[in-house]
Structure 1
């Protein structure tokens, strides 16, 4: 048989033959050394484990005396069937069960993108150029804030597309918002009270709790965050998604934006964390300017990601710090290493520098707009469904008039292998207004399959079409 692999400690107080005896015995009891298998000869096992044959002989002798193995003259030692031995307490082997992910034939998850439209050939070319002997420097550790050349491209893009005023020195790159938010929390310090949109990102709430900070839910309405409720709270930091609120899709109105910036300016320890996660995709009217572009008091920390605009697996996000917070950042994170590999940063930098990122966004904006138009055209045929949040992004909110609530409808869809989430799962505090609301993402569904996907879902719920359809 194959040699027996055991970890023996030559410095332990227990003799080596006892360690070997215990190891072989455990293997026989748990079945990893099967019944009737021949053990290696004393000489071969001694050579393999670099032990004396006396050590092997003592271990085998003890196993033989206790009935774990049997000796067959001139043949060797074999594992005995120990099932009949009354003093053997064999472990009960529980079959390993691996959790299986649910199978979805139709997936309305808001996190999905149109993967078929990704510019693979262009990205492949830049990846090939990066993996080259001329790029040997990329093998070394880079800046803690991320590649300077990439930060230059991001700063230029943000100014042109979102009106964000910043220098590359204010940008910090990291592997996803869940890695960057803890950094922001540390920069802002302890004993803060965070106001969070309700409903909103559950991940942000969990991270704040993990860091021992207080958080308060603030209601959302058609104009976005209710700043009046924020003003009545004792929160000094607010986390908002003003350009396309997640998950309702509401857009923070101009008066609310001014009110929010005014709130932040009243106290020195007040800040706004602006998460601009999918601002690239707006379909109605002109792009909404970022809060950071309206901020003259250095109160806004701008946060965004390439997950929606390029791909979730790229794991590149970034934040822009106000100048006055940069000393605090350097004091805390001078010795940190950027969590995004330099090769990926270099590829993205070249992709942006040569104009491919802007071209890709323009193309995807048209693709998602067509999907949204087809989606709304089908949904408006049904009398019991209303749409909101369709001005931007890659998801909409549905309000369904139905005997069942949104959670029950979601469960019914899941049983039919259709994925759609109730908005209530994003609530930090119960709010009856969302009992019939569901979140429907359309980014990852093929345009030609949208009509059938919606029809299948609504027929499952037994929704009726209107009289004019």
Structure 2
């Protein structure tokens, strides 16, 4: 049976391409039996003339129908409707269901510990180095670079680490990656399948997920006011300790000198033991001298140092780095000989110029002053609510931890805060095992203005029914 023409409605107002409109209507006619099996379709020329479209458009539509088995092309004869086995995949029409209402949360203040101050970023200086880098003279940067990251950036990072963190390493030991979550699986792989990991509890949840996603055992070790409990670490069968010693996340505590020595001694006792030191926001310390990195104290090359530019510059830059002990560097080179760097070379060179010119150090000094002021605003606003509300972890970083003396639990307090338009983050969120003791919360201040900090704390206390002390 032959049909001379097809009635197809085309619309040029819709973003759907013409060939797709033709394909959809013929497909539906076949599915619903309007075009019977064995029917010959109009030629591409005739249908194109009838619909006032090009033969190419018809050819695309017929080609898609043919690829999906709806029509069959016979040489020198044309296109014919193909038999489909009962069209078992065609879904029956369903009654329209009522839309499920989506509860929208109105958040006025978000005390996220991960937010940064975006209003004081040095756009003028960054734009200058971006213009200098994105130029015809830099056409070599369009090609793949060193798999460990371009040497220009690794040299700047090595120099920065030596002067700011006491990390004495060569640029060759530095690996550039697009975030801690991208570098950590590489570390896990070179440490071997038999490695078992001790993690801080509470601790950084994203890193904990990395261990589980890579089928590695993660053993929670308690954290107290001196950091990871090394005595507890010695009681478990772990070969790798993952720590945030300069500013423990999320409690904000600093690993004490005694614990640092004990941890390094633990690692040096057996050849296969290593420490992963995540130094993610050590740049912002507000009291006393900067605390040296564990890597700088290590004589036995048992520390893997990891850090990022997410807090110091911007999260969207997606540049992190790790410093490998030489024994692990050789393993890395053997395991990932065919890998390429995951960070665009243009971004690497913009950052390298930014650091070489001294702009990175100036930016850190400026932001340290800004964050210290915000921290003081937060402390001044919280102080009148003592002793019901206390805080700790104010030495370093962009958040503190508060504890609340109340009959309500953490979950209840978080709900009350949310009802008042305030988002806060309970410490139990970061624990492997929930605790029922005094409720504790992370209060981030990096991304808020001074006015938002004051207003947010006042609204939060009102939502919790906590009043200022009379003599405040």
User: Do both proteins adopt the same fold according to a TM-score greater than 0.5, normalized to the shorter chain?
Assistant: yes
Contact 2:47 2:58 in 1 (8 A): no
Gaps of 5+ in 1: 9-18, 30-39, 63-87
> Is 2:405 aligned against 1:401?
yes
Residue 469 of structure 2 corresponds to which residue in structure 1? 466
Contact 1:305 1:316 in 2 (8 A): yes
Q: 1:319 aligns with which of 317, 322, 335?
A: 322
Residue 265 of structure 2 corresponds to which residue in structure 1? 262
Going from structure 1 to structure 2, the CA distance change for 1:25 and 1:461 (only over 3 Å counts) comes to farther
Residue 47 of structure 2 corresponds to which residue in structure 1? 42
The TM-score normalised by the length of structure 1 is: 0.84
Gaps of 5+ in 2: 1-8, 11-17, 35-44, 63-72, 84-90
The alpha carbon displacement at 1:416 in A equals 2.5
> Is 2:20 aligned against 1:5?
yes
The alpha carbon displacement at 1:212 in A equals 1.2
Q: 2:445 aligns with which of 435, 442, 447?
A: 442
Contact 2:277 2:304 in 1 (8 A): yes
Q: Deviations over 1:150-200 (max 9, x none)?
A: 000000000000000100000001011000000100111111110000000
Contact 1:201 1:426 in 2 (8 A): yes
> Is 2:393 aligned against 1:389?
yes
How far apart in 2 are the matches of 1:326 and 1:316?
19
Residue 66 of structure 2 corresponds to which residue in structure 1? none
> Is 2:301 aligned against 1:286?
no
The alpha carbon displacement at 1:89 in A equals 4.2
Residue 167 of structure 2 corresponds to which residue in structure 1? 164
Going from structure 1 to structure 2, the CA distance change for 1:7 and 1:315 (only over 3 Å counts) comes to farther
SS where residue 205 of structure 1 aligns?
A: helix
Q: Deviations over 1:98-149 (max 9, x none)?
A: 9888442101000000000100111111111111101101100011111101
The alpha carbon displacement at 1:209 in A equals 1.0
How far apart in 2 are the matches of 1:188 and 1:98?
48
Going from structure 1 to structure 2, the CA distance change for 1:101 and 1:363 (only over 3 Å counts) comes to farther
Contact 1:374 1:450 in 2 (8 A): yes
Contact 1:202 1:428 in 2 (8 A): no
The TM-score normalised by the length of structure 2 is: 0.84
The alpha carbon displacement at 1:417 in A equals 2.2
Residues 160-239 of structure 1 mapped to structure 2, 5 A cutoff: 160-239=163-242
Deviates more, 1:169-178 or 1:410-419: 410-419
SS where residue 385 of structure 2 aligns?
A: coil
How far apart in 2 are the matches of 1:137 and 1:195?
43
Residues 142-161 of structure 1 mapped to structure 2, 5 A cutoff: 142-161=145-164
The alpha carbon displacement at 1:431 in A equals 3.6
Residues 71-82 of structure 1 mapped to structure 2, 5 A cutoff: none
Contact 1:217 1:429 in 2 (8 A): no
Contact 1:381 1:465 in 2 (8 A): yes
Deviates more, 1:260-269 or 1:88-97: 88-97
How far apart in 2 are the matches of 1:458 and 1:28?
67
Residue 420 of structure 1 corresponds to which residue in structure 2? 424
User: What CA RMSD, in Å, does the superposition of the two structures yield over aligned residues?
Assistant: 2.8
Residues 65-76 of structure 1 mapped to structure 2, 5 A cutoff: none
SS where residue 213 of structure 1 aligns?
A: coil
Residue 67 of structure 2 corresponds to which residue in structure 1? none
Number of residue-to-residue matches in the alignment = 422
The alpha carbon displacement at 1:232 in A equals 0.8
Going from structure 1 to structure 2, the CA distance change for 1:305 and 1:26 (only over 3 Å counts) comes to farther
Residues 16-35 of structure 1 mapped to structure 2, 5 A cutoff: 21-25=26-30
SS where residue 380 of structure 1 aligns?
A: helix
